Amino acid sequence: MVYEAEICITSNLRRSLAESLSCDRLERSAKTELRKLLLDDYTESSNKSTVVPIRLVKAVHKALNQERMEPIYLHEMLEGCELHLPEYTAPPRNPELETRIQRLKAEAAEREYKKMTKNVASPETFYKENLGHEMKAMNNQIIAVVNFAVTVVGAFVFGYKGSEAAMEIPNVAIQLTVAMILATIVFFADLYFLIKKTM
């Protein structure tokens, strides 16, 4: 539906419209429409102003300029007038279109919800993943402790048996002292690397 812009009639515009009724250059249909508008303007209550289409104002302006010796300018005719646009009424929507729009909105909302919750795991999944992670960490710690113990015990045995093989006459006190010194050195070296690895 095409809307035609209209102008609220003021006293200045009313004079020009009334003058154009006596103009011979104005078409008969335009005169009839003007008479009706001016009659409505006089009979209508003061709270609602009468409006005239812009095309009719342009026709009046053209006819008056052809009749008069002194030209009348359109902006002078429209001085103090306000533009009146009819209120827009939206056409009724097609029911099929409305159902399709609702379906698409629901799908978009579902996609948005899935996008927001894709990183949220269920408690079972979290528990299983957490348990697996803890088991792996515990296995690594057990392996480190066993490796630590085996290395220190191995150093002790090596020191004890190595000193026994180096002496002609076995002396248990010297063998234990050498074994303890070697095991202590390996203990602190292994402890240093273990702490360095975990930090």
- Which of helix, strand or coil describes residue 7? strand
pLDDT at 45: 52
Whether 1 and 14 have beta carbons less than 8 Å apart is answered as no
More confident residue, 9 or 43: 9
**Span 122-131, mean pLDDT?**
64
Distance CA(98)–CA(104), nearest Å, equals: 10
- Which of helix, strand or coil describes residue 24? coil
pLDDT at 121: 62
Asked if the model's pLDDT at residue 42 lies above 80, the reply is no
pLDDT tens per residue across span 63-121: 888 887 788 888 888 888 888 777 777 888 888 999 999 999 999 999 999 888 887 76
pLDDT at 154: 95
pTM for the whole thing?
A: 0.42
The DSSP result for 175-196, as a single string, is HHHHHHHHHHHHHHHHHHHHHH
Asked if the model's pLDDT at residue 132 lies above 80, the reply is no
Tokens of 67: 């009749």
pLDDT tens per residue across span 150-199: 999 999 999 999 998 888 888 899 999 999 999 999 999 998 988 887 77
Q: Give the number of other CB atoms < 10 A from CB of residue 55.
A: 13
More confident residue, 97 or 125: 97
Asked if the model's pLDDT at residue 130 lies above 80, the reply is no
Give bridge partners of residue 84 from the DSSP assignment: 6
Query: To the nearest 5 percent, what fractions of the chain are helix, strand and coil?
Result: 70, 5, 25
